[in-house]
Chains A and B, each alone.
Chain A
C-alpha cells in the first residue's frame, strides 16, 4: 500500500490501519480516539468520487453505520480507519513523469485552489529547499502559506516533505502520483491520502 511505502520512506503519514472486521475497526478507532475517518484502502481509486471516504465519525454507533454502508456499497474491498487530523491547511502535491523532461513535482493549496484555479507551481525533480521557496513564491496563494492572521505552517517540514517526495518518486519509478491532501499546521503535517500509477 502506497501510504505504507511513503511512511517507510520517512514521510509523515496520518496514523491508519487496514481493518478486517467491525470489531477490529472499533478497537482501532478507540486507539486513535474519535473522530476517525473510514475509507477504501486503495492506491488507485478516486475515493471521494465513488463515496469511498467518510469523515467525522465520532462514536461507535456512527462507526457501525459507516461500516455497514461500506460493506453494502463496496463488498469485500479492503477498508482502513485513519486518525482524523483536525488542524492545518490542505495542500496538494503531485508528481508526473514528463516524456521529455523527466519527473516534475507540483504543489499548491488543495481543494478548489487546485481544481478550479489551477494555482500550482512545478519544478523538475530533484529539488532543493531553495526551489521550494521559489515554488511558494510562484503561487497566488502564497500569503496563505506564509501566514496570515496569525495562522502559519511549518515551512521546514513542507520543504523536507517536497524534497523527499521527489526522491521517493525517482526511487519507485512513479509515473503519476497525487499526495492529496497533505495537511500541515504550525507544527505537524500529515499525508492523509495518496494515489499512484507506477511505470
Chain B
C-alpha cells in the first residue's frame, strides 16, 4: 500500500516553512500542527532557526528522527536536491506542492525531478497534495478559515486540478458529504490518477471514488486501473476538456468525428464507470451510493406538493425509468390509513397538510410494494403540519430500497438537507436531481450486472 504513508504517516517534514502565515509552506505547517494531525511535524528551512516558536531544521537530513513523508513547498529549482537529501535519509514518500517545472517550460527541472523520484513515491509537483479527513494529514495551502474541511466519510476524491479539487471539498462540507481522503496530483511526474485509483480500490473504507480528469498520459494504464477498481466499487468520473479536439481535416469520417473525448467515453463504458457532466452532478451521484442498489428501474414518488410530483415524474420518464401504478390491494390498504381526500397512487400526493405520520405510511407503502424498486420522497417543509422531526423518522427506513429525498426551498431547507445527507439519506434541492441520482444508481447496478 503506497497510499498508507500519505494517509497515515507517523512523521512529516515540511520543507519551506517561514514565519509568514501568508506563505504556502507556513499554511501547510500550521494546518498540520493545529488541524488535528497527531504525528510528529518538523519544519525545514535553512534560513530559520525557529518558526512559530518551534525548532526549524536546516535540511530533511538533519532531522534526528525517522521521517515517513516529506512535503516540499520551495521554488522549483531547489526541489530535486531536497528530494535527493530526503531519499538519502531513507524517506520514500513525498508531496511536491511547488510549480515551475515542465508546465512553465522548465523541462530540464522536470527531467531532473523524474530522475530523482524514480525509486520514490511522489505526488505532484504543481498540486495541492493530500487531505485525510481521519488522520488530518492536510497539505492544502488554503487556510481553514477560507476553506472548510469536510467531515470523515466514505468518498475518495482524486483531482487533476487543484482549484477544482478544493471546490470539491468546499461543496462536500457544505452539503454534508463525508470524505475519506483527497488527492490532488498536479503534473503527475511520478504517481498519477491510475496509481491512486488502483490503491483506492483496495482501501476498504473508501466506498466511492470520484475522479476529475482533464487528460491522462497513459490511456491503457488508466483503463486497466478503472477496470480493476470498478470491479470493487463505484467510480464517478468528470472528464473536462471535451470539446474542440477533433481533427478538422481528416482522411475519414471517423477521424473527423472522433476527438479525444470519444475515446475516453469508450473507456468509461468499457470499464463500467459512471460519468458526471458537472461538479454538482458528481456530488449528486456520489451521495446516492449510501443507498442499496435498486433491483429494477421502477420508481415510486411521494410528495406533499402536487407540482413536484409532476416534475419528478417527467424527469423519471425522460430518463427511461418507469413510474408504475400501485396495485389495487396496495391502494386499498393505504387508503384505510389516510383521510378521504388523500388518494394513494404513484406519484403519491400526501397533500399539503400532511404530517410526519402520513409520510411514514406512504413511504412504507412504497417500500413494501412489489412494483417499486426505488423511492423519491419530496418534502416541502413550508406547510405548518410538517416539521423537522420527519428527518429522524425518515432515517429509520434507510437500507431496504434506495431512497432519495428532495427538499426544495431556501436557507431553512439547506440545513435540513445537510442533516438528512449526514444521517444517510441523500437530500437534493430539486426532485429532478434526486431522480437523476437514482437513475445513476440504477445505471450503475445495470453496468455491474452486465460486467459480472
Q: Which A residues form the contact surface with B (CB < 8 A)?
A: 44, 92, 94-96, 98-102, 104, 106, 114-115, 118, 120, 122-124, 130-131, 134, 138, 176-178, 180, 195-197
Once the chains bind, are B260 and A98 in contact (CB under 8 Å)? yes
Can you report 30 residue pairs joining A to B where beta carbons are below 8 Å apart? Answer: A94-B252, A94-B254, A96-B254, A96-B263, A98-B260, A98-B263, A100-B217, A100-B218, A100-B222, A101-B220, A101-B223, A101-B263, A104-B258, A104-B262, A104-B266, A106-B258, A114-B253, A115-B253, A120-B257, A122-B262, A122-B266, A123-B269, A123-B270, A131-B269, A134-B269, A176-B255, A177-B252, A177-B254, A178-B253, A178-B254
Report whether A100 and B216 are in contact in the complex, using a CB–CB cutoff of 8 Å: yes
Closest to B264 in A: A101
Q: Check B262 against A106 for contact (C-beta < 8 Å).
A: yes
Measured between C-beta atoms, what is the minimum distance from B439 to chain A in Å? Answer: 14
- Report the minimal beta-carbon distance from A190 to chain B, rounded to whole angstroms: 19
CA distance A115 to B254 in the complex (A): 10
- Kindly identify which residue among A101, A118, A123, A130 contacts B257, using a CB–CB cutoff of 8 Å: A118
Other than the given A101-B223, A101-B267, A196-B252, 9 more pairs (CB < 8 A) read: A94-B252, A94-B254, A100-B222, A101-B266, A104-B266, A122-B265, A124-B267, A138-B269, A178-B252
Interface residues of B, Cβ cutoff 8 Å to A:
216-220, 222-223, 250-255, 257-258, 260, 262-267, 269-270, 450
User: Which residues of A have CB within 8 Å of B260?
Assistant: 98, 100
Contacting B270 at CB < 8 Å: which of A100, A115, A131? A131
Q: How far is the CA of A128 from the CA of B3 in the complex (A)?
A: 35
Most central of B216, B222, B255, B262 by chain A CB within 10 Å = B262
- The residue that B450 contacts in the complex, of A115, A134, A176, A180, with Cβ under 8 A, is A134
B219 nearest CB neighbor, chain A only: A100
A-side contacts of B262, CB under 8 Å: 104, 106, 120, 122
Most A Cβ at <10 Å: residue of B216, B253, B265: B253
In the complex, what's the smallest C-beta–C-beta distance from B353 to chain A, in angstroms?
43
Q: Please tell me if the beta carbons of B254 and A176 are within 8 angstroms of each other in the complex.
A: yes
Contact partner of A100 among B220, B250, B253, CB < 8 A? B220
Rounded to whole angstroms, the CA-CA distance of A94 and B220 in the bound complex is 20
Give Cα A39–Cα B222 distance, bound, in whole angstroms: 43
Can you list the 5 inter-chain pairs with the closest CB atoms, starting with the nearest? Answer: A100-B219, A94-B254, A101-B219, A98-B263, A122-B266
Q: Tell me if A124 and B254 are in contact (CB < 8 A).
A: no
CA–CA, A115 to B220, complex, Å?
A: 29
A95 touches B266 (CB 8 A): no
CB pair B255–A124 under 8 Å, yes or no, is no
Interface of chain A, main secondary structure: strand
* Min C-beta distance of A197 to chain B, whole Å: 5
B residues less than 8 Å from A106 (CB atoms):
254, 257-258, 262
Within the complex, the shortest CB–CB distance from B452 to chain A, in Å, comes to 11
A106 to chain B, nearest CB (A): 6
Name A44's closest neighbour in chain B (CB-CB).
B251
Q: Which residue of A lies closest to B215 (CB)?
A: A100
Bound-state Cα–Cα, A142 to B21, Å:
59
Q: Which residue of B lies closest to A105 (CB)?
A: B266
Least CB distance, A192 to chain B, in whole angstroms: 14
Chain A residues within an 8 Å CB radius of B223: 101, 124
Chain B neighbourhood of A131, CB < 8 A: 269-270
Could you say which residues of chain A place their CB within 8 Å of the CB of B222?
A: 100
**B266 in contact with A123 (CB, 8 Å):** yes
Q: How far is the CA of A127 from the CA of B209 in the complex (A)?
A: 26
Q: Which residues of A sit under 8 angstroms from B263, Cβ to Cβ?
A: 96, 98, 100-101, 104, 122, 124
User: Complex formed: what's the CA distance from A118 to B267 in Å?
Assistant: 18
A178 contact set on B, CB distance < 8 A: 252-254
The answer to whether B253 and A92 touch across the interface, beta carbons within 8 angstroms, is: yes
Bound CA–CA A88/B250 (angstroms): 28
A130 touches which of B254, B255, B450 (Cβ 8 Å): B450
Judge whether A98 and B254 touch: CB under 8 Å: no
Contact A114 B257 (CB under 8 A): yes
Q: Which residues of B contact A114 (CB under 8 A)?
A: 253, 257
* B267 adjacent to A94 (CB under 8 Å): no
In the bound assembly, the distance between CA atoms of A138 and B443 in angstroms comes to 12
Partner of A102, one of B220, B257, B258: B220
Nearest CB of chain B from residue A191's CB, rounded to whole Å? 15
The one of B220, B252, B257, B264 that contacts A195, using a Cβ cutoff of 8 Å: B252
Q: Are B258's CB and A195's CB within 8 A?
A: no
Most buried by B among A101, A118, A176, A195: A101
Q: Which residues of B contact A196 (CB under 8 A)?
A: 252
Closest to A98 in B: B263
A140 to chain B, nearest CB (A): 12
Which of B223, B257, B264 has most chain A Cβ within 10 Å?
Answer: B257
Which residues in A have their C-beta under 8 angstroms from that of B219? 98-102
- Residues on A with C-beta less than 8 A from B216 are 100
Give A195 to B253 CA distance when docked, in angstroms: 9
Residues of B within 8 A of A176 (CB): 250-252, 254-255
